[in-house]
Structure 1
Amino acid sequence: MVNSAASNHSDHYPPRSDLEAAFQVVRRAKVPQVPDIVLSLRDELHRPDPDLIQAADLVARDLAMTGQVLKTINSPLFASRAKISSIRQAVTLIGLRRLTNLVTAEAFSRLLGEREGGARLILDFIQEQASIASAVASLASELTPDEAYLFGLMQGVGCLIFADLIADYGNEWTLQALTAPQALMDYERRALGTDHVTVGFLLAGTWRLPESVALAIYHQHDFEPPRGFGVHLRALIAVARLARVLLALRRGIEDNPVLLDQRDWGLNELAVTPETWGSFVVRLLTDDPCI
C-alpha cells in the first residue's frame, strides 16, 4: 500500500481492521483519483536510472501544470537563486524527487475542486496549512519546502472527505480541529467507524506517496510519535505541529495547552530556540507576502 520497497515501520501502520473500515468509508466518498502524470513520475522516480528529460517532458505537455509548478518554484518560499523558466531546467536544479512532489501537490489541489459550506472552510484551511508548513520547513534542515507542502495538503484530506459524508461535520471540525484533534477523531469514529488520520494514511498509499508522509499523517496527533521514527519522519511531524500553532495564532488562539505542548515538542525536535521561533513568527505573520 505505502510506497516503500522494504518498510521498517510496518508495526506502526494502522491495524488491518481499521484500514478495512476506512476503505469502506472511502468507497462512499468523492475521492480524488490519482492522475496518470503522478503515477508516471513516481514510476520513473523509482527506476534504478531515472530518465530526467523524459520525466520533465511528461510534465511540460500539461501547460497549466507547467505554469503552476514554475510559479511555485520561483516563489519566495523556494528562494531560487535564479529564475527557472522550464521544467527541464527545474528537474536539473531541484531533482526528480522534488519535482514529483510539486506535481503531486498541484494535481491533488486541482482534484479537490470547488467546495461549499463546511467543506469550503476545511479546504481553505488545508491550503493555508500547506503554505505555512512549506515556510516552517526552513527551520528543519532535514526537509524541503515541497515535502512539507505536500504533507500539509495531505494531512487533512480525511476531514475534507468526511465533510461530504456527515451533515454537521463542518461544525464539529470548526470547534475541535485545531485545539482538540483527539476529540474530533472520537467524533469521527462514532459517526463513521474510522477517523481522518486512518483515511489519510489509506489515501497516501493510493497516491503512492513516500512512507514517511503516510506515517506522519497517521501519527500527526500522537502526543509522542513512536521512538523508532527517524529524524526525517519526526521533522515532518514537528513542522506540521508548528504550522498548526501558527494557524491558531492567526485566529487569535494563543494560550491553548494542547497547542503550547505541540509548539514545545516541535521546537525541541527541530532544535529551534524560543528566540528564533519568536522572530520567525513575527516575520511570517506580519511581513511575508506569500503566506
Structure 2
Amino acid sequence: MTTPAASNHSDHYPPRADLEAAFQAVRRAKVPQVPDIVLSLRDELRRPDPDLIQAADLIAQDPAMTGQVLKTINSPLFASRTKISSIRQAVTLLGLRRLTNLVTAEAFSRLVGEREGGARLILDFIQEQARMAASVAALAPELTPDEAYLFGLMQGVGSLIFADLINDYGNEWTLQALTAPQDLMDYERRALGTDHVTVGFLLAGTWRLPEPVALAIYHQHTFEPPQGFDAHRRALIAVARLARILLALRRGIEDNPVLLDQRDWGLNELAVTPETWERCVARLLTDERGT
C-alpha cells in the first residue's frame, strides 16, 4: 500500500504512528481493491507526454464503465455544452486528467455499491455529498466539477470502512458526522486508534490520487488548513464544506454553530458574497428536490 510522498511541510501529513494505526485498521477491513484501469490511467497521467488515444481505448474496453462515464459526463451535474458520444471524444474535449477523475469515481462507486445497514446510510450520504460538491464547484474557479465530485466521494471512505469494523458505528456517525466531526473522530480513535481522515489519506495513496487531494482529505475537518496550502487545496476543502452545509439544510439543520462557522469560512475562502450563496442554495436545493 502506497502513501503520498512526504514533503518539507511535515505538519501537513499524518504522524507515522497514526499512519501505522490506520494501516492496521485497513488490513482488517473490506477495502476495495484498486482496479487495473485506474492504476493504468494514473500511470499514463504521470508520463511527460500521455497517449490520449491509448488511454481512451483502455477505458473503451470496459463497456459498462464507458456507458456510465458517458452518462455522467452528459448529465446535468456536469453541464456539458456538447453531447459526448465516445470516450475518444471525451478525452479530446475534457482532457485525460478530468476523464481519469471520472473513471476513478465510477470505479470506486462500483466497488462499494453493495452495502447494507449503517454502511448503506453512509454510502448514500457520500454519494449525495459528491453530487452536491460537483455543483458547488461552480463557485470555485480553481476547481473542475470532476475534481470536486471525486473528492466528495473519497473524503468519506474512511467512515465507510469503519462501518464494517465498529459495532453501531452507523449510529455514532448519524449523530455526529455533520455537526460534530471532531467528536466522531475522537470516538473512532478510542475504538480503533485511528480516524477516518487518516484512513482516507492512506487510501488516497493506494488509489494514486494527486497529493493535494490526499492532503485535503486529511485536513477536511481542520478549521483553518495549514499555512502553505495552495489555493487549489483550500478550494477543495471550501467546496466540500459548503456541500455539507447544503446537505445539513436538506435535513432541516440550519443554526448549528459548527456548520455556520464552516459556511462563513468557505464563503470567505472562495470570495462568495452572501447574496450569491443564497441564490446558490435556492437553486441547488430546488434541483435536488426535483431529482
| TM-score normalized with structure 1 length | 0.97
| 8 Å contact kept, 1:2–1:211 | no
Structure 2 CA distance for aligned equivalents of residues 167 and 290 of structure 1:
35
**Structure 2 residue runs without a partner (length 5+):** none
| 2:251 match | 251
**Structure 1 residue runs without a partner (length 5+):** none
| 1:118 match | 118
Identity of aligned residues (%): 87
**Alpha-carbon deviations, 1:150-183, whole Å to 9, x = none?**
0000000100100001111011000000000000
| 8 Å contact kept, 1:29–1:164 | yes
The alignment partner of 2:164 has SS state of: helix
| 8 Å contact kept, 1:2–1:210 | no
Structure 1 CA distance for aligned equivalents of residues 172 and 157 of structure 2:
16
| 8 Å contact kept, 1:235–1:270 | yes
* TM-aligned CA deviation for residue 2 of structure 1: 4.1
| 1:150 match | 150
Matched residue type, 1:25: A
Structure 1 CA distance for aligned equivalents of residues 125 and 228 of structure 2:
31
**Alpha-carbon deviations, 1:160-218, whole Å to 9, x = none?**
10000111101100000000000000000000000000000000001100011100110
| 2:49 match | 49
Matched residue type, 1:44: E
- 1:52-71 map, 5 Å: 52-71=52-71
Matched residue type, 1:234: R
| 8 Å contact kept, 1:77–1:134 | yes
The 1:3/1:25 distance shift into structure 2, 3 A limit, reads closer
* TM-aligned CA deviation for residue 11 of structure 1: 3.7
Q: How many residues align?
A: 290
- 1:1-291 map, 5 Å: 1-3=2-4, 7=7, 9-287=9-287
* TM-aligned CA deviation for residue 114 of structure 1: 1.3
| TM-score normalized with structure 2 length | 0.97
Structure 1 CA distance for aligned equivalents of residues 223 and 280 of structure 2:
24
Matched residue type, 1:212: P
Provide runs of 4+ in structure 1 moved above 2 Å: 1-4, 6-11, 287-291
CA-based RMSD of the aligned residues comes to: 1.3
**Alpha-carbon deviations, 1:91-113, whole Å to 9, x = none?**
00000000000000000000002
The 1:173/1:143 distance shift into structure 2, 3 A limit, reads same
* TM-aligned CA deviation for residue 75 of structure 1: 1.2
Matched residue type, 1:94: L
